[in-house]
Amino acid sequence: MTTFHNQSEYSEIQQKYAEMHASINQKLKTCLVNKTPESLYAPGRYILEGKGKRIRPVLVLLGAESILGHYDNLLDLALSVEVLHNFTLIHDDIMDRADLRHGRDTVHKKWNDNIGILSGDMMLAFAYELALLRPLKNLHQILSIITQSTITICEGQTLDLDFETRHDVTISEYLDMISKKTGRLIAASLEIGGLAAEASPEQFKSLSKFGELIGQAFQIQDDLLDIMADDKKFGKVPGGDVMTGKKTFLLLRAIELSSGEDRDILQKIVDNHGTTQDNVPKVKAIYERCGVLTEAKDMINKNFDESKELANQLPSSQGRKALIDFAAMIMKRES
C-alpha cells in the first residue's frame, strides 16, 4: 500500500524532495540565458520557469543514489531529462490546442505555433547538450536511452492521437499507450541515473521495471485525480477528461464493467467525443457503481508494492528508502 509508517517519514521525503526541487529549479534558471535570437530561446526559458513537479530529474538523482548512496555532480544530467520532457510538452500542447499549462499560457498560445515547434526542436537538441556536459563511463548508453525514449514517446503520442478518432480502444491498448507516452521517460530517468552510477545489469533492470510500474500508476492516478480531485488543488476543472471524451483507464474499463443504461451513457461519451459539465457527477456515480475507482486504486497499490520489492534489491539502504518513499509520496498526491 502507498502509505507511510509515520508522519516523520512522510515529512522527511517531502523535505528531501523540496531540496532537490529547489536545486533543479535554480539550475534551470541558468539555462538558455544570453542566447539569441530571443524569439527562439525566450519560450524555452518560459516553459522551464513553470510550476513543474520535476519528477523525472528527481528520479535521475534518486536512481543514482539508490546505487551509490549519493548523486553528486549529476544535476546537468537530471536537467537533460527535464528539458526533454518540456520539449514534449510544448509540442503536445500544440497538438492538443491547449491554452493553459499550470495556470499559464502555453508556449504556442503566448507566441505562435511556429515558434512553439522551433523552440521545442531546440530544446530537444539542448537536452543532448546537457547530457554531454559531464563525461561518464556509460555516456553512450545514456545517450542511446535518451534517443530511444524520444522515439517511444512519439509513438505513444501518435497512439493517443489515433485513439481520438477510434470508438473501440481496449484497455490493453490504452496501457500500452501510456507506457510509451508517460511511463517510458519515467523509467528512462531511473535507468539514466543508474547508468551514471555504474549500476550492474541486474540493478539496471530493477530500476527500469520500477520506473515502468510507477509510470503506469502515475498516469492512472492522474486519471483518478481528474474525476476526484478538488479543482483548486488539481488546477483543472474536475471531470475535464469526461467532458472532452478522453479515453482514460476509468472510462474504458467502466465501459467493460458496466451494462444497460450506464454502459450506454459511457459509450455515448466516446461516440460524441465528450459531454457537458453537468453530466460529470452522473459519470462519477457510474464509476462508483461499477467499481472502477476501487479497481484503479487497487492497481496503483499493486504497482507500488511490486516496485517496492524491486527497490529493496538495490545496494544503498538510504537511496532505496528515498526512492520508495518518493514513489509513495507521488502516489498520495492531490494535484
Q: What is the fold of 7-331?
A: Farnesyl Diphosphate Synthase (1.10.600)
At residue 331, the pLDDT reads 82
Low-confidence ranges of the chain (pLDDT < 70): 1-5, 230-237, 334-335
Q: How far apart are CA 255 and CA 249, in angstroms?
A: 10
DSSP run (H or E) holding 117: helix 113-131
At residue 72, the pLDDT reads 95
In a 10 Å sphere around its CB, with 0-12 CB exposed, 13-18 middle and 19+ buried, how is residue 139 labelled? middle
At residue 5, the pLDDT reads 64
Evaluated on CA atoms 174, 180, 181, 183, the torsion sign reads positive
The predicted-structure confidence for 130-169, as pLDDT tens digits, reads as follows: 999 989 999 999 999 999 999 999 999 999 999 999 989 9
Q: Are 237 and 99 in contact (CB under 8 A)?
A: no
Peptide bond into 37 cis (omega under 30): yes
Q: Which residues pair with 105 in a beta bridge?
A: 100
In 3D space, the residue among 294, 309, 238 whose CA is nearest the CA of residue 327 turns out to be 309
Neighbour tally for 167: CB within 10 Å:
10
At residue 233, the pLDDT reads 53
Q: What distances in angstroms separate CA 49 from CA 77, 102, 276, 292, one per listed residue?
A: 18, 11, 33, 37
- Read off the pTM: 0.94
At residue 330, the pLDDT reads 87
